[in-house]
Amino acid sequence: MIAKEGRPEDISGRLPKEVRVYDFLDNLGISYYRIDHDPAMKMEACAEIDKALGATICKNLFLCPRTKKNFYLLMMCADKHFETRPVSDQAGSSRLGFASEEYLLEFLDITPGSVSVMGLMNDKENRVQLLMDEDILKGEYFGCHPCINTTSLRIKTKDLIEKILPAMGHEPKLVHLD
pLDDT tens for each residue of 143-162: 999 999 999 999 999 999 99
- The pLDDT of residue 43 is 66
Q: Report the candidate in 62, 42, 15 with the shortest Cα–Cα distance to residue 113.
A: 42
Helix (H) or strand (E) holding 174: strand 173-175
Listing from the earlier edge strand, what are the strands of the sheet with 58-65? 96-98, 58-65, 71-77, 128-133, 173-175
pLDDT at 51: 79
Q: Are 162 and 127 in contact (CB under 8 A)?
A: no
DSSP state of 178: -
Low-confidence ranges of the chain (pLDDT < 70): 41-43, 45-46
> 170 with 125: CB under 8 angstroms?
no
What are the backbone angles phi and psi of residue 63, rounded to the nearest 5°?
-125, 160
| Alpha helical stretches, state H, 92-152 | 101-108
What lies within 8 Å, CB to CB, of 113 at 6+ separation is: 39, 40, 41, 149
Task: Show Cβ contacts of residue 87 under 8 Å, excluding neighbours closer than 6 positions.
Answer: 63, 74, 96, 131, 175, 177
pTM exceeds cut of 0.85: yes
Which stretch of DSSP H or E encloses residue 9?
A: none
Total domains present in the chain: 1
The Cα–Cα gap between 34 and 4 comes to 5
Instruction: Tell me the C-alpha distance between 83 and 28, whole Å.
Output: 35
pLDDT at 4: 93
Residue 78 is predicted with a pLDDT of: 86
- CATH number of the domain residue 95 falls in: 3.90.960.10
Residue 80, domain extent: 4-175
